[in-house]
């Protein structure tokens, strides 16, 4: 049998199922971009909230804007919008949960007006988004709205025939304004620093080209809370589908697998009412910045440290790399000595246990995160993840040697593109050509890579940094060099 509302009753008792009356749930949240992450994160918080009395107004209606979402719509509809969440703990324990918080799904290419009307409906309090970084339509180099995108040009000129999230949201807000209904909150759940501010800037840039009065109304009435989101959710695989059938004999065509850790820190600035997500583990704060900094400088930077050093050694995944004791020690020392001194104390967070948990999460053998994925687009990541830490430590006169070896390793990685075992590395980066050509000058000029000033700023002129960097380069480029011996030497210095 397939998973649906009727077959729920047949599931074994170890599977957690929605205990609430789904027929009484209304959609207060419309979510655009129902990918794996939404189904492992926000939808799960809502699922838990719906188990508490008086919260039935907070169900979710999913929206798919892209043609590619047709199959997802068909599957969700056939399953009464239910799906399985397989939570894989670091110790190998597995929990299965059926999530019931999604009660409807609209496939926009089939009926655009239905989506606009749903967003504009008075029940809708929040329009949330996980449309990936690309969905925000900014130019990565300047951070400004990209007016040259043909879909955006269409949406500016055809307010009733939108394609993009900005077109739909603006059309719905126009209806709300005309009907005197007040605004909904637009809540980004994407992994972008200050995601609410970015969404606001992009939506206003879009709306002001379409309708000046409306964009002023949006500016005054719509809130865009910033949030930090965290839960590692790999892409669903055929083996995840097979697992669910084996585990409890019901077929789910699109289950989601994720780690057990989850975190959501949200700025409490909503246009209208909001769910009490704090009751089910989220945290409301006035400023999300220090939480974002902590996550980027420890989790994301930690991924890059393992990713680059591990790739040169010849490892393939994060769990494999961090299970090598030297790599785990290196990572922990980097976090303790070079990152932590720059982080502010945070309410509700014990940094020591946050770091312990991070290493445990990275070591989760059931979440296979490939180093190639971690190292992809390093040019967009390292300035925020690692170079920012180096710059602060230089100002404070603190240690930079562990982070510097990572930057020098990135040079070797971009230059040679092979592991010590001679395997070709799979490198994906929008700046790959430049990275490669600057790195290739290293043999003749050891700091050549640092001349990429869009990434490294003034580091090439900082003597403390270049002295350390040249040491790392010399070690890495020595004949028969071994990354583990170099890491060991840096740890001992």
Binding footprint of ligand NAD on the chain (CB under 6 A): 32-38, 65-66, 68-69, 130-135, 165, 190-191, 229, 231-233
Q: Using CA atoms, how far apart are residues 49 and 57, in angstroms rounded to an integer? A: 11
Q: Using CA atoms, how far apart are residues 460 and 470, in angstroms rounded to an integer? A: 11
Q: Which residue of this chain has its Cβ atom nearest to ligand NAD in the complex?
A: 35
Question: Which CB, 134 or 479, lies closer to ligand NAD?
Answer: 134
The 8-class DSSP code of residue 126 comes to E
Question: Which CB, 61 or 490, lies closer to ligand NAD?
Answer: 61
Question: Which CB, 171 or 452, lies closer to ligand NAD?
Answer: 171
Question: Which CB, 54 or 68, lies closer to ligand NAD?
Answer: 68
Other beta carbons less than 10 A from residue 131's beta carbon: 21
What residues does 219 pair with on adjacent strands? none
Question: Between β-strands 59-64 and 102-107, what pairing exists: parallel, antiparallel or unpaired?
Answer: parallel
Instruction: State in angstroms the smallest separation of the CB of 69 from ligand NAD.
Output: 5
Question: Which CB, 134 or 345, lies closer to ligand NAD?
Answer: 134
- Angle 473-387-304 (CA atoms, 0-180°, nearest 5)? 75
Determine the length of the chain: 493
Question: Which CB, 58 or 107, lies closer to ligand NAD?
Answer: 107
- Residue 428: burial class (beta carbons within 10 Å; 0-12, 13-18, 19+): exposed
Question: Which CB, 69 or 391, lies closer to ligand NAD?
Answer: 69
**Token duo for residue 168:** 């739909």
Instruction: State in angstroms the smallest separation of the CB of 264 from ligand NAD.
Output: 10
Instruction: State in angstroms the smallest separation of the CB of 425 from ligand NAD.
Output: 22
Please check whether residue 472 is in contact with residue 405, taking contact to mean a CB–CB distance below 8 angstroms. Answer: yes
Question: Which CB, 42 or 393, lies closer to ligand NAD?
Answer: 42
Q: Using CA atoms, how far apart are residues 96 and 257, in angstroms rounded to an integer? A: 9
Question: Which CB, 128 or 311, lies closer to ligand NAD?
Answer: 128
The 8-class DSSP code of residue 330 comes to H
DSSP assignments along 10-64, one per residue? GS-TTSB---S-GGG--EEEEEE---HHHHHTHHHHHHHHTTSTT-GGGEEEEEE
Instruction: State in angstroms the smallest separation of the CB of 166 from ligand NAD.
Output: 9
Instruction: State in angstroms the smallest separation of the CB of 21 from ligand NAD.
Output: 28
Instruction: State in angstroms the smallest separation of the CB of 132 from ligand NAD.
Output: 4
Q: At 202, phi and psi to the nearest 5? A: -70, -45
Q: Using CA atoms, how far apart are residues 454 and 295, in angstroms rounded to an integer? A: 23
What residues does 94 pair with on adjacent strands? 88
Instruction: State in angstroms the smallest separation of the CB of 28 from ligand NAD.
Output: 21
Please check whether residue 404 is in contact with residue 456, taking contact to mean a CB–CB distance below 8 angstroms. Answer: no
Question: Which CB, 34 or 335, lies closer to ligand NAD?
Answer: 34
Q: At 430, phi and psi to the nearest 5? A: -60, -25
Question: Which CB, 35 or 59, lies closer to ligand NAD?
Answer: 35
The 8-class DSSP code of residue 107 comes to E
| Residue whose pair of structure tokens reads 């789910």 in the numeric block | 252
Instruction: State in angstroms the smallest separation of the CB of 191 from ligand NAD.
Output: 4
Q: Which residues contact 51 (CB under 8 A, 6 or more apart)?
A: 18, 19, 20
Instruction: State in angstroms the smallest separation of the CB of 200 from ligand NAD.
Output: 17
Instruction: State in angstroms the smallest separation of the CB of 72 from ligand NAD.
Output: 7
Q: Is 150 helix (H, G, I), strand (E, B) or coil?
A: helix
Instruction: State in angstroms the smallest separation of the CB of 44 from ligand NAD.
Output: 13
């Amino acid at each position: 049998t397939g998973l649906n509302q009727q077959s729920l009753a047949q599931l074994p008792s170890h599977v957690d199922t929605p205990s609430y009356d789904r027929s009484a749930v209304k959609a207060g949240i419309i979510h655009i971009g129902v990918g794996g992450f939404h189904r492992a994160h926000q939808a799960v918080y809502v699922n838990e909230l719906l188990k508490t009395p008086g919260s039935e107004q907070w169900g979710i209606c999913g929206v798919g804007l892209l043609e590619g979402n047709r199959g997802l719509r068909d599957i969700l509809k056939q399953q009464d919008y239910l799906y399985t969440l397989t939570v894989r703990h670091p110790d190998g324990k597995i929990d299965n949960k059926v999530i019931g918080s999604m009660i409807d799904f609209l496939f926009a290419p089939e009926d655009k007006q239905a989506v606009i009307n749903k967003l504009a409906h008075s029940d809708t309090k929040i329009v949330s988004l996980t449309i990936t970084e690309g969905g925000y339509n900014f130019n990565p180099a300047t951070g400004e709205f990209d007016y040259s995108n043909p879909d955006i040009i269409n949406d500016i000129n055809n307010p009733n025939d939108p394609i993009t999230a900005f077109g739909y949201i603006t059309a719905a807000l126009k209806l709300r304004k005309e009907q005197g209904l007040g605004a909904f909150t637009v809540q980004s759940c994407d992994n972008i620093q200050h995601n609410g501010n970015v969404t606001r800037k992009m939506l206003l840039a879009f709306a002001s080209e379409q309708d000046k009065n409306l964009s002023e109304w949006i500016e005054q009435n719509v809130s865009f809370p910033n949030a930090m989101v965290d839960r590692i959710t790999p892409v669903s695989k055929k083996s995840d589908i097979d697992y669910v059938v084996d585990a409890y004999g019901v077929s789910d065509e699109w289950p989601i697998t994720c780690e057990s850790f989850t975190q959501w820190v949200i700025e409490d600035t909503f246009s209208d009412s909001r769910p009490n997500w704090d009751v089910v583990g989220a945290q409301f704060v006035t400023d999300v910045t220090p939480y974002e900094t902590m996550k980027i400088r420890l989790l994301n930077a930690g991924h890059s440290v393992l990713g680059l050093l591990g790739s040169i050694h010849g490892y393939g995944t994060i769990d494999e790399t961090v299970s090598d004791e030297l790599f785990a020690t290196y990572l922990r020392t980097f976090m303790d000595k070079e990152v932590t001194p720059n982080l502010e104390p945070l309410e509700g967070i014990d940094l020591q246990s946050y770091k312990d948990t991070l290493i445990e999460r990275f070591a989760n053998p059931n979440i296979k995160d490939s180093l190639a994925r971690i190292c992809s687009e390093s040019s967009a990541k390292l300035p925020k993840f690692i170079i920012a830490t180096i710059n602060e430590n230089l100002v404070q006169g603190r240690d930079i040697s562990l982070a510097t070896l990572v930057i020098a390793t990135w040079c070797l990685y971009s230059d040679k593109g092979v592991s010590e075992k001679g395997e070709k590395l799979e490198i994906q980066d929008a700046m790959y050509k430049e990275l490669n050509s600057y790195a290739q000058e290293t043999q003749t000029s050891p700091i050549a890579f640092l001349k990429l000033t869009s990434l490294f700023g003034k580091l090439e002129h900082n003597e403390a940094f270049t002295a350390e960097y040249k040491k790392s380069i010399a070690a890495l480029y020595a004949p028969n060099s071994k990354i583990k011996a170099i890491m060991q030497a840096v740890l001992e210095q």
